[in-house]
C-alpha cells in the first residue's frame, strides 16, 4: 500500500508539474493524507492520516485526502487531478483541497460510484466539508469527509429506513383495516326472490328525447427523455 501511495504521490507530482510545475513535498510518515507546500501542519497531516486509515479498514474503500496550496490551478485542473488520482487507487474516494483557490472536490471511483453519484459527492461537499474548510479545520474536514462518505455508502441509509417505515405503515394499515372490514357483518338478503314471476309488470315505459349537445377537449401529449452515466462521479465547489 505504501508503494502505491508513493507512486501516486509521484503521479500527482508529475501531473501537477505538467500543469503548474509544482511538486509535492509530502510528509514522510503520511500515506493517505498528501500535503503540498505545507498546506496543513505535520501534526494535522498525521491525525488526518490515522483517520483515513481507520476509515479504509472500516469501509473497505480507499480513503485519501490531498491538501495543496496552488493559486495557479484552475477548478477543472483540480477535478481532473482528483479523477486521475482516484482512478489509480481503484475502489476509492478522494478529497482534494486547494487552499490556493479555496476549491475542494470529492471524487469517487470503482464500486463506490454505485452509491456515490455526482449528486452525492456534491452533497458531501455542501453538507459536510464546506463549513469545516471555511474554518480551516483540516482534521475536522477529513472527519466530515469520512462521515459524509459513510452516510452515503451505508448499506441502509436513513432515506431507505424512512421508505421502509412508510412501507410498513401502508402494509400494516391495509392488512388491519381490510381484515376488520371483512369480519364486519354486512350480508344483505335478496328481496327479488319473493317477487311473483321474478319481475315487475310495467304499465308505463316512456323515453322522450329532450336535447343533445357535444363537447370537445384537446388531447394533451407529453414527451420524456433520459441521459447516460459513467463509472466515475465527483462533486465539489468553492468554500
Reported as half-sphere exposure (CB side, CA atoms, 13 A), residue 219 has a value of 1
**Rule CB under 8 A: is residue 199 a binding residue for other proteins?**
yes
Residues in contact with other proteins, counted by CB under 8 A, come to a total of 55
> Which of residues 2, 18, 28, 213 is near other proteins by CB under 8 A?
213
**Rule CB under 8 A: is residue 217 a binding residue for other proteins?**
yes
128's grid cell:
459536510
**Rule CB under 8 A: is residue 181 a binding residue for other proteins?**
no
**Rule CB under 8 A: is residue 119 a binding residue for other proteins?**
no
User: Are the beta carbons of 131 and 143 closer than 8 angstroms?
Assistant: no
User: Are the beta carbons of 63 and 146 closer than 8 angstroms?
Assistant: yes
> Which of residues 185, 223, 224, 225 is near other proteins by CB under 8 A?
185
- Segment contacting other proteins (CB under 8 A): 9-17, 34-42, 66-74, 184-192? 184-192
| Helices 75-89/2-20 angle, 10° precision | 160
**Rule CB under 8 A: is residue 212 a binding residue for other proteins?**
yes
Residues 6+ apart with CB under 8 A from 234: 79, 82, 83, 105, 106, 107, 108, 118, 121
Q: Which is nearer to other proteins, 191 or 224 (CB)?
A: 191
Is residue 156 helix, strand or coil?
Answer: coil
> Which of residues 76, 192, 223, 230 is near other proteins by CB under 8 A?
192
**Rule CB under 8 A: is residue 204 a binding residue for other proteins?**
yes
| Alpha-carbon torsion, ordered 81, 85, 90, 92, to 10 deg | -90
Cα angle value 155/158/161 (rounded, 5°): 80
Site mask for other proteins (CB under 8 A), range 124-163, x = bound: --------------------------------xx-xxxxx
**How far, in Å, CA of 197 to CA of 194, rounded?**
9
> Which of residues 6, 54, 179, 231 is near other proteins by CB under 8 A?
179
| Minimal distance, residue 177 CB to other proteins, in Å | 9
Looking up cell 405503515 gives 169
Beta pairing partners, 66: 34, 96
Could you list the residues that contact other proteins (CB under 8 A)?
156-157, 159-172, 174-176, 179-180, 183, 185, 187-197, 199-219
Amino acid at each position: 500500500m505504501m508503494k502505491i501511495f508513493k507512486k501516486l504521490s509521484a503521479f500527482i507530482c508529475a501531473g501537477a508539474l505538467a500543469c503548474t510545475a509544482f511538486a509535492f513535498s509530502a510528509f514522510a510518515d503520511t500515506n493517505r493524507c498528501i500535503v503540498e507546500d505545507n498546506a496543513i501542519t505535520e501534526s494535522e497531516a498525521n491525525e488526518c492520516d490515522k483517520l483515513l486509515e481507520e476509515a479504509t479498514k472500516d469501509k473497505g474503500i480507499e480513503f485519501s485526502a490531498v491538501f495543496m496550496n496552488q493559486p495557479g490551478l484552475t477548478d477543472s485542473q483540480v477535478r481532473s487531478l482528483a479523477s486521475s488520482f482516484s482512478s489509480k487507487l481503484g475502489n476509492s474516494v478522494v478529497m482534494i483541497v486547494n487552499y490556493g483557490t479555496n476549491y475542494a472536490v470529492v471524487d469517487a471511483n470503482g464500486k463506490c460510484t454505485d452509491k456515490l453519484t455526482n449528486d452525492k459527492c456534491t452533497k458531501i461537499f455542501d453538507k459536510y466539508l464546506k463549513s469545516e474548510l471555511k474554518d480551516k479545520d483540516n482534521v475536522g474536514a477529513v472527519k466530515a469527509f469520512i462521515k459524509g462518505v459513510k452516510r452515503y455508502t451505508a448499506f441502509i441509509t436513513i432515506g431507505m429506513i424512512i421508505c421502509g417505515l412508510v412501507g410498513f405503515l401502508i402494509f400494516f394499515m391495509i392488512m388491519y383495516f381490510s381484515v376488520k372490514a371483512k369480519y364486519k357483518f354486512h350480508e344483505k338478503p335478496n328481496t327479488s326472490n319473493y317477487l311473483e314471476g321474478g319481475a315487475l309488470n310495467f304499465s308505463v315505459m316512456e323515453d322522450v328525447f329532450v336535447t343533445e349537445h357535444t363537447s370537445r377537449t384537446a388531447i394533451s401529449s407529453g414527451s420524456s427523455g433520459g441521459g447516460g452515466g459513467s463509472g466515475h462521479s465527483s462533486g465539489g465547489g468553492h468554500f
